[in-house]
Amino acid sequence: MINSEKKSHYGIILLGFVFILASFQLIFDFHKPVLKIWDEASSATNAVQMLINKSYLSVTVSEMPDKEYDTLPPMNIWTKVIAYKLFGVNEFSVRLQSVIAALLTFLLFMYFSKKHLNEHYFAIFALLIAATTIGFNGYHVARNGDPETLLILFTSLYFFSTFLLLEEYPKGRNKYLFLTGLGIFMALFTKSVAGLVPLAGIIVYALFTRNTYQLLRDYRFHLTWIAVIALLAVYYLTRNYFEPGYLDRSIFREMSLYHTFPYDPKHPEATFYLKYLSSEAFFPFFYLIPLAIPAFFMAQNQIQKKLILYSFSSGFFFIAIHSTSITKNEWYIAPVYPFIWSLLAVSLTSIVQYLLQPTATLNRFLRGSLLIVLIVGLGYVVYLNYPVIYKTNQGYKTWTYDPEREGDLLRSIKGKTDKHSNIVIVSDQHPRQMLFYIKKYELERGDTTLITKTISDELIGKKILVCRSSLKKAIDTLYQYQKLDGDKYGSLLLIDSKKIPTQSLD
């Protein structure tokens, strides 16, 4: 028999290995892909503008308040500004906050597992599942500079702290109330009203918890939520004072997106998130969720039973609320991942611990067989998903999304030489991603880069960057040029002169 001290050492070693495995999936080459065209590009560009203007309250585009894309509170942008100051304006700085937030979320699971569950199984299972969750490690979440991973960190913080507050009250109430209030405030300050949605399932669980009613009579609880609201109100009202109409553009607009959308909704069907989680983002772990039922009855202690119910309630109501919304996107559901990681991790922990108990009602052979099936099955899923995620994240080496090609070629050219200081980009693509690279090289080198959709004689004598085949064909037809640089998608050309139309001889 292995004594408990040795078991603990083996658990720490295994947990360390799993943490490295999960971290590698996040960190490896995260800074190398070109900036993504949509939210990542707009927040990265606005952070450069904030760095230039030194106006840290408002988010601006071309010296004017951003009224369309970055109307959220500026936590996501502030983290980028700090990274720019430390590491320069680049993809590493844009995405660093997401990677750090993901790693801190892993550490939250590890701390909770050791400190409050007094074992390592929970964290080992949670991190294994996290390392192979396709939706978490994919586009728009942990490896990109969007606000989702920050939101995941802060909602995870108040997810765990609220559970402990309800479980241990009045012990540790000051600490847990502070952490809960901090998590809620930071979640709201990261993505506004989206930071409140996870509270729905938490509140439902709390209604059936004895300590809730004692907590409601505690003045500290009321001071906490009043402080959160007051701090947010100060920010929103101050920004609205300096940017009249900000409240309408931000918090009220965000709430309206629940039931209306400015054009045809992308995923109007109520089953979208269930299909997405079950077939892609959380496949095949989604189909292990029913294990929570036997796990509840196998659980060795009350805290495991309660954590199963708490995690299920948090995840179920989060998905349900988002599924009834008109506005849906794959990454909107991202904060649910820690809740279902927790649900599966505590369920697997309960089952494994039950099967390892000599006093279990099942015979030894059956217990051993089930344990082998469970461990081998989980290992096989990790074996399948881990390389899929890795391969997908390395896809930038062979393919670049069409609207991101101009920005990718521009950074490639600028990375090779500083000779091309004045370039005109001829493109009919959305300029969000290109603007980041334009501002980057303007700030770092004083370069001037313009964007135009029009092909005219004004391009003669200028260096132009073109990627769209239709625009390149028009240039081929009209002008003589020299090719200075390029890749498989586009070219940097020096336009020499206009072609003289050839005349046929009679």
Enumerate residues 6+ apart whose C-beta is below 8 A from 329. Answer: 140, 266, 267
The partner residues of 426 in beta bridges, in order of sequence, read 452, 466
Report the amino acid identity of residue 338. P
* Token duo for residue 299: 């659980």
Count of Cβ atoms closer than 10 Å to residue 21 Cβ:
16
Enumerate residues 6+ apart whose C-beta is below 8 A from 428. Answer: 453, 468, 471
State the pLDDT at residue 53: 87
State the pLDDT at residue 248: 84
Per mean pLDDT, which range of 46-55, 83-92, 209-218 is the poorest?
46-55
For 486, half-sphere exposure in the C-beta direction (CA atoms, 13 angstrom radius) is 17
Report the amino acid identity of residue 239. R
Domain ranges of the chain: 11-38+96-396, 405-498
Dump the DSSP string for 345-397. Answer: HHHHHHHHHHHH-TT-SS-HHHHHHHHHHHHHHHHHHHHHHHHHHHHHHTGGG
pLDDT over 70 (residue 3): no
The partner residues of 485 in beta bridges, in order of sequence, read 492
Higher pLDDT, 9 or 502: 9
E strand or H helix that includes residue 226: helix 219-242
Count of Cβ atoms closer than 10 Å to residue 290 Cβ:
10
pLDDT over 80 (residue 472): yes
Q: How far apart are CA 475 and CA 499, in angstroms?
A: 10
pLDDT over 80 (residue 66): no
State the pLDDT at residue 268: 83
State the pLDDT at residue 197: 94
Report the amino acid identity of residue 201. G
Supply the mean pLDDT for the chain. 92
Look at the block and give the residue holding tokens 């998905």: 319
Count of Cβ atoms closer than 10 Å to residue 467 Cβ:
26
State the pLDDT at residue 288: 96
Backbone phi and psi for residue 10, each to the nearest 5 degrees, phi listed first: -65, -40
* pLDDT (tens digit per residue) in 200-209: 999 999 999 9
Find the mean pLDDT for residues 375-386.
Answer: 93
For 318, half-sphere exposure in the C-beta direction (CA atoms, 13 angstrom radius) is 26
* pLDDT (tens digit per residue) in 303-357: 999 999 999 999 999 999 999 988 899 999 999 999 999 999 999 999 999 999 8
Query: In whole angstroms, how far apart are CA 104 and each of 44, 142, 380, 386, 422?
Result: 22, 12, 27, 20, 42
Q: How far apart are CA 472 and CA 475, in angstroms?
A: 5
State the pLDDT at residue 71: 82
pLDDT over 50 (residue 280): yes
* 11 and 124 Cβ atoms separated by less than 8 Å: yes
Q: How far apart are CA 242 and CA 415, in angstroms?
A: 39
Q: How sure is the predictor about 67, in pLDDT bands with cuts at 50, 70 and 90?
A: low
Report the amino acid identity of residue 288. L
pLDDT over 50 (residue 1): no
State the pLDDT at residue 4: 60
The DSSP secondary-structure symbol of 229 reads: H
Higher pLDDT, 359 or 395: 395
Find the mean pLDDT for residues 68-73.
Answer: 77
**pTM for this model (two decimals):** 0.94
State the pairing for strand pair 64-65/60-61: antiparallel
* 78 and 124 Cβ atoms separated by less than 8 Å: no
* pLDDT (tens digit per residue) in 73-122: 989 999 999 999 999 999 999 999 999 999 999 999 999 999 999 999 99
Residues in the chain: 506
Backbone phi and psi for residue 141, each to the nearest 5 degrees, phi listed first: -120, -110
* 82 and 118 Cβ atoms separated by less than 8 Å: no
Omega before 284 within 30 of 0, i.e. cis: yes
Per mean pLDDT, which range of 67-81, 97-111, 175-189, 215-229 is the poorest?
67-81
Choose among 15, 221, 197, 224: nearest CA to 117. Answer: 15
State the pLDDT at residue 155: 98
The partner residues of 448 in beta bridges, in order of sequence, read 422
State the pLDDT at residue 506: 43
